[in-house]
Structure 1
Amino acid sequence: MSDAKKPGVEEMSADEKQIRAEFEALLQDYLNSNHRRKVELITKAFEFANQAHSGVKRRSGESYILHPLAVARIVCREMGLGSTSICSALLHDVVEDTEYTVQDISNMFGPKIAQIVDGLTKISGGIFGEQASAQAENFRKLLLTMSDDIRVILIKIADRLHNMRTLGSLLPAKQFKIAGETLYLYAPMAHRLGLFSIKTELEDLSFKYEHPQEYAFIQERLDATEEARKKLFGHFAVPVDKKLQSMGLKYEMRARVKSAYSIWSKMESKGVSFDEIYDIYAVRIIFESQLGIDEKNQCWEIYSAITDIYRIRPDRIRDWVSRPKANGYQALHLTVMGPDGQWVEIQIRSRRMDDIAEKGFAAHWKYKEHNVEEDTELDKWLHTITEILENPNPNALDFLDTIKLNLFSAEIFVFTPRGDIKTLPQGATALDFAYALHTNIGNKCIGAKVNHRLVPLSHPLASGDQVEILTSRSQEPQPDWINFVTTAKAKAKVDYALKRSRREVAREGEHKVITALKNAEIDPNTGELDKLALYYGFPKREDLFYSVEKGETVLPENLKKILKEKTDNFFFKYLKQALGVGKTQEEDASVEEEPKEKPQYDKKRPYILREEAFNRNYVLAECCKPIPGDDALGFINDDGNVVVHKRSCPIAMRLKSSFGERILSTEWSSHKTASFEATLEVKGIDSLGVLSNISKIISEDFNVNIQRLLIEAKDGVFEGKIKMKVHDVEDIQKICVKLSKLKSIKSVGRVGE
């Protein structure tokens, strides 16, 4: 039989043709960079990976090798990395998915590539494992690997970016999980590494899958207003172009439009409409550096030229040229009044600054003969992360939250009495500064002098402050300190010190409780200690020990009277239910009834949220209180029940990141008989009868029951919150539209409690 007649050959040759075309495109990307020419090594890595993944398909039906090829192209073209990273990207799934070992990779491609592939294999399946208990450990591995070779996390981010670009082929529940953990951790990580364009794309793709209607609405509005923006930019650019050309500069000037996710976030946080977002676009001026002229001076010369043409807004100058951000970002930002009477933000950067802004620390390699110098801001940040890992929070979710504190923070610069500069997140306090200096200084801190003035530990610092920390040998961390700190390092240190102190106190209390039991001729076994703890309302024995030592709980002389109750009596059952405590061993032995079987859920189809005879097949989450019509998802709790959250709920984001296997996509059924709580926030001009008009529209026009109405008027304006019972989101939207037509009302929208 000829090749042409063999079944599948045409299909295979088409696949092979596509694979070869992608590989050629990768080589072209590499040859267009200024890295050393190691085409043979990259070709060898591709041929090896292609053979290892031969015959394997992705869920989309494409050959699997196209995924490593796409990741390698992102690493090369969008991050600016060289042959070591490209080869590692091509090989990143080989050890996990095939029979080959890290040793095989080392033998063929050397120890450095093998080390990076090993790091990527160890954190396979994303930062989070399927089990929550493994999650903190996986993340710890990731961060420790980062300190070995930053390329591991850069390739991991590239891997996640390609997965997000091809997310459409997965089931909705899986989409929510991946989008959730992307927004929760990968986007902030990309931001901290200075990968601005990748961070923006990760956010937008997550937003697109989590809130498709809102995403489509914003994209439509951006398309509809594009012509007006072009016109605005044209008017603005003409005199600036003329001036910069007369200065003999080589430059490009372009308009940058805010991302859909950024616009939505601002609409949500500020409670405003699309038309009320005034910084949708900014102007970026990127100039070519001139030999012998300092880049910083060139930035200020362009600044001077622009402010000769347009009136500046002094409170909006941001000098990231003199003092770059911790992720390496450098630029000079200013805001001026444009010719059409609108404020326009301008970002001035050199070509080098622009590369670093778009490609992050990877771009440093383009401007250095060797790898990035060790003493960079990034290494300092990684050192901070490693410090947190020394005393990690055992709770996986809290641990991730602590780490995340350091990812998205804007910075302030604070001086020691000697004039040394310390970089801290915005909102950092005097106590944060003390812990930034040294753990012992933080633990012994009693106060601070800011600009020679005595302030408490909770005093928030500002850029330029000079801070002197006051300490005392007798000082120890106090429980309220956890509310005084904002940095991840300080929170971890305070938490560790408090837990250690609490354990020591509980140990002393344990001796007292055991002695009291022995005096009452009771065997101090775990069962008796648990019963005693339950009697006093403590879910754990350790809480009872702590309370006894602190004198908050006083044990009676006759302990036998308390403990003669059987563990299965009504009182103990009630306490256990209230405190959420599991059964004791004795109770387990006495219960003969079969445990209830947990319901099974089909994750391939949306879970329909039904309401029949006032019985729901779901539970509403108290944190965000979704109502029918909200973008929602389901979380299967420990009891097997479906708890419904809004997709944008911060708690839901944590659940998606950590318990992806328990997430369900959901659909609301008709809920015309049931009512749900919702709260509206109303603002406007105070006038006679405004309150009665609002009440009349809600109660009479829509037949909606108002539960609570709080309105406060001051200096001619009012604002208030109205809590009501509605059927669904449509009710809310109709009420908002009707209320907004009242002359005295300036804004109305739904808010949380």
Structure 2
Amino acid sequence: MLRQYELVERVMEYAPDADEDRLNRAYVFTVQKHGSQKRASGDPYFSHPVEVAGLMTDLQMDEETIITALLHDTVEDTLTTIEEVSDKFGPEVARLVDGVTKLSKIEAQSEDQRAAENLRKFLLAISDDIRVLLVKLADRLHNMRTLNYIKSPLKRARIAKETMDIYAPLAERIGMYEYMREMQLLAFEQLEPDACKTITDKLAQIRVNAGAEVSDIAASIQKQIIEGGIDASVSGREKHPYSIWRKMQERHVTMDQMADINAFRIVTNSEEDCYKVLGRVHRKWKMVPGRFKDYISTPKRNGYRSIHTTIMFAQNMRVEVQIRSKAMHEQSEFGLAAHWGYKTGDRPDGQAGWIRDLIEILETSHDAEDLLENTRLAMYQDRIFAFTPKGALHQLPKGATPVDFAYAVHTDLGDKTVGAKVNGRHVPLRTILANGDMVDILKSDGQLPQANWLNFVATGKARAAVRRSIRMRERSELVELGRQIYGEIIAHYPSKIGKKALAKAMERLEIEDESQLMVDIASGKIADKALLEALIPGYEDDPDLEWPQQNKALTIKGLTPGLAYQLGECCHPIPGDRIVGLRRANEPVQVHMIDCETLANGQDADWVDLSWGRDSDGATARLHVIVHNRPGSLADIANIFAYHKANIMNLKLGSRDTEFHSYELDLEVHDLHHFMRILSALRAVDAVSRADRVH
């Protein structure tokens, strides 16, 4: 652990104008506040914030950030308040500490909800000041370094997964690859211990066997560069175990089949020299097609700049080469933190585009699962570049479609998308974009996001926007349904109920918005009698009120509560059948059996996965029965229905001849089991030649 004077000396070396007394006070403050608290390792708790502050000095961060690192756990884990931090160290430090502080008293019902709320506050904080993210990443990195001291395997796995899903991608997004790689490796050790050990052991073996080979390749590349009169350094580097494992999973190959375990890095003095080196390398060795990327001309979204190429070395050996300048190399290791400039006022863009996307997702995500899923999508690492017809560049994850591109340009354009041209050709909206595609989005003011877009969009921003639009439309449907139900309810009261009574009812129900009242009515949150009691207190004593009996026997899971539906007249589904819904705007959901032919013609509707409620009872099934033309046949089948307590709702004579009569009839049954018993009984009697269900 860094001693007090060591930490202060580190800061003063690169920031001689820093307030030494303030730094000393912050160190003493965190030691006193954490007092006798211990970490899982047995070390004093204050050793953790001190080490986090040390990581910030490695990045040569400003005074406020160092103090924030020292104090970042005091509000969460001690009796310290944000107000106290502000009084002693200023409002800027207080704001940063508050941003880093996790919400420790969230009353949530699931781990996802707690994680989502922490992430929600965190994203809002980093949108205001990116230093919050830098401290948080250092905090997580040090916690991962000491993760093995936590006894609970489940807790270790949860922290490792959160690191892999959220914090490592965040580090990558701001170009802090050293942080990203170490966090991924430490999380990989916890989540896939066997795979990690196997790859690590194999790398050690390769290191011994191929050590001379790596040196020879580096020397050959260095020779070519020197002969070109270029000043540059060449070094071989080994890909880290998690990166190897991920590529093995993506390519479905074994480690022995991977040809790019070792890579070579060439660092030059200038950008111009990068291209000179590239020319020397490609003239000497053949380039592998499809493995060249110029991130200098087109940087990654996090600012990463470098040239990547793969060449064929001796005996057809594939060798990966990265070429960058010294400035680019510094940027690639420490990303946004590498050029921090608070003293000069030259701050990096804290409102980077990807952060703005995350904030938009934050505002449109409906619940914890939405937020976590969509932010993970937004931080997806593998990217492509696509262009608008005017040449504007947009970065997207691999697998992105024109819909994702439209939302990347602007949310309003995404919402109104009706078609797309890629490289001048009309393509389906689910088409996967390739690197360098030019995308022209066709829009219509009458268009709305479609539910089936969720089946193929790849970005969190697009997914969040589509879901938000669908929720808003569903809410509109619920409001309209609620108004209809409200009208039916008050119609049973003999006196007219006006707006004044409705306003009073909303006060009694503690609902401020009339549309919310209608949603609650439609979704069953407010019972009919409770609504009338709010409208007309004491209504139950009114002798003129006749309250209708409501049939609540049928319930269907998968529908928005209270949303209107109709059972398909074509297939007559009954409880027990596998069912699916077709939803069209301003129409009730049509419920059909899963094998109904109508579904093939339902391409203009959204499909909704449905199932019957546990206690659903009663629906109409349709039968086709052929009986022998002899006296008493019809009475025989009527007796079967009576015995099984099934009502005949409709009976139609289809055809008749000298031998047989055919009938089509609608039969009210409890469920599929009840119906099948009746069908079996019909087929067993001599009077019936054939009995089938019609659907």
Q: Mark yes or no: TM-score above 0.5.
A: yes
Matched, 1:401 2:373: yes
- The amino acid that maps onto 2:473 is S
Residue 150 of structure 1, CA deviation: 0.7
Distance 1:75 1:447, change over 3 A: same
The equivalent of 2:307 in structure 1 is 332
Correspondences of 1:226-375 after superposition (within 5 Å): 226-247=207-228, 249-287=230-268, 289=269, 295-365=270-340, 369-374=344-349
Q: 1:463 aligns with which of 435, 441, 456?
A: 435
Correspondences of 1:269-668 after superposition (within 5 Å): 269-287=250-268, 289=269, 295-365=270-340, 369-374=344-349, 379-394=352-367, 396-512=368-484, 535-538=554-557, 542=561, 544-545=563-564, 550-552=587-589, 576-577=613-614
- The amino acid that maps onto 1:388 is I
Residue 428 of structure 1, CA deviation: 2.1
Residue 70 of structure 1, CA deviation: 1.0
SS at structure 2 position matched to 1:81: coil
- C-alpha distance in 2 between matches for 1:240 and 1:368: 41
Q: 1:188 aligns with which of 162, 169, 189?
A: 169
Distance 1:343 1:92, change over 3 A: same
Root mean square deviation of aligned Cα = 3.3
- C-alpha distance in 1 between matches for 2:316 and 2:390: 47
- C-alpha distance in 2 between matches for 1:32 and 1:244: 36
SS at structure 1 position matched to 2:447: coil
Residue 152 of structure 1, CA deviation: 0.8
Deviations 1:46-93 (A, max 9, x none): 12212222322212111111111111112221x442322111101111
- The amino acid that maps onto 1:550 is E
Structure having greater relative contact order (Cα 8 Å, sep ≥ 6)? 1
Matched, 1:214 2:189: no
- The amino acid that maps onto 1:421 is L
SS at structure 1 position matched to 2:384: strand
Q: Does the Cα contact within 8 Å between 1:414 and 1:467 map onto a contact in 2?
A: yes
SS at structure 2 position matched to 1:542: coil
Deviations 1:269-306 (A, max 9, x none): 4333221222111011122x2xxxxx332111111122
- The amino acid that maps onto 2:261 is I
Deviations 1:505-545 (A, max 9, x none): 23334455666788999x99766899956614236662542
Question: Which piece of structure 1 moves more, 345-354 or 96-105?
Answer: 96-105
Q: If you compute each CA radius of gyration, which structure gives the higher value, 1 or 2?
A: 2
- C-alpha distance in 1 between matches for 2:424 and 2:340: 43
The equivalent of 2:124 in structure 1 is 144
Deviations 1:300-324 (A, max 9, x none): 1111122233222232111001111
- C-alpha distance in 2 between matches for 1:282 and 1:331: 14
- C-alpha distance in 2 between matches for 1:543 and 1:426: 40
Distance 1:166 1:373, change over 3 A: closer
Matched, 1:72 2:53: yes
Distance 1:22 1:304, change over 3 A: farther
Q: 1:164 aligns with which of 144, 167, 170?
A: 144
Deviations 1:217-272 (A, max 9, x none): 22111111102332221221223223333455443322121111122223334333
Q: 2:40 aligns with which of 59, 64, 84?
A: 59
Q: Does the Cα contact within 8 Å between 1:34 and 1:366 map onto a contact in 2?
A: no
Q: Does the Cα contact within 8 Å between 1:415 and 1:465 map onto a contact in 2?
A: yes
The equivalent of 1:107 in structure 2 is 87
Q: Does the Cα contact within 8 Å between 2:38 and 2:44 map onto a contact in 1?
A: yes
- C-alpha distance in 2 between matches for 1:368 and 1:413: 35
The equivalent of 2:685 in structure 1 is none
- C-alpha distance in 2 between matches for 1:239 and 1:443: 55
- C-alpha distance in 2 between matches for 1:317 and 1:402: 30
- C-alpha distance in 1 between matches for 2:47 and 2:589: 65
- The amino acid that maps onto 1:95 is V
Q: Does the Cα contact within 8 Å between 2:72 and 2:97 map onto a contact in 1?
A: yes
Correspondences of 1:726-737 after superposition (within 5 Å): none
Q: Does the Cα contact within 8 Å between 2:566 and 2:588 map onto a contact in 1?
A: yes
Deviations 1:89-133 (A, max 9, x none): 01111222223322222232222212111111245699x997543
Q: Does the Cα contact within 8 Å between 1:510 and 1:545 map onto a contact in 2?
A: no
Distance 1:32 1:227, change over 3 A: farther
- C-alpha distance in 2 between matches for 1:267 and 1:531: 60
Question: Which piece of structure 1 moves more, 418-427 or 159-168?
Answer: 418-427
- C-alpha distance in 1 between matches for 2:436 and 2:251: 29
- The amino acid that maps onto 1:161 is L
- C-alpha distance in 2 between matches for 1:487 and 1:140: 18
Residue 345 of structure 1, CA deviation: 0.3
Distance 1:366 1:441, change over 3 A: closer
- C-alpha distance in 1 between matches for 2:453 and 2:65: 44
- C-alpha distance in 2 between matches for 1:248 and 1:438: 48
Distance 1:361 1:349, change over 3 A: same
Deviations 1:605-654 (A, max 9, x none): xxxxxxxxxxxxxxxxxxxxxxxxxxxxxxxxxxxxxxxxxxxxxxxxxx
Distance 1:578 1:351, change over 3 A: farther
Q: Does the Cα contact within 8 Å between 1:533 and 1:544 map onto a contact in 2?
A: no
- The amino acid that maps onto 1:60 is S
Q: Does the Cα contact within 8 Å between 2:422 and 2:437 map onto a contact in 1?
A: yes
Q: Does the Cα contact within 8 Å between 1:392 and 1:492 map onto a contact in 2?
A: yes
- C-alpha distance in 1 between matches for 2:16 and 2:614: 65
- The amino acid that maps onto 2:557 is F
Q: Does the Cα contact within 8 Å between 2:361 and 2:461 map onto a contact in 1?
A: yes
* Unaligned 5+ runs, structure 2: 494-520, 530-548, 568-585, 592-610, 617-695
SS at structure 2 position matched to 1:255: strand
Question: Which piece of structure 1 moves more, 300-309 or 460-469?
Answer: 460-469
- C-alpha distance in 1 between matches for 2:281 and 2:342: 29
The equivalent of 1:704 in structure 2 is none
Distance 1:469 1:307, change over 3 A: closer
TM-score normalised to the size of structure 1?
A: 0.64
Distance 1:408 1:99, change over 3 A: same
- C-alpha distance in 1 between matches for 2:165 and 2:429: 30
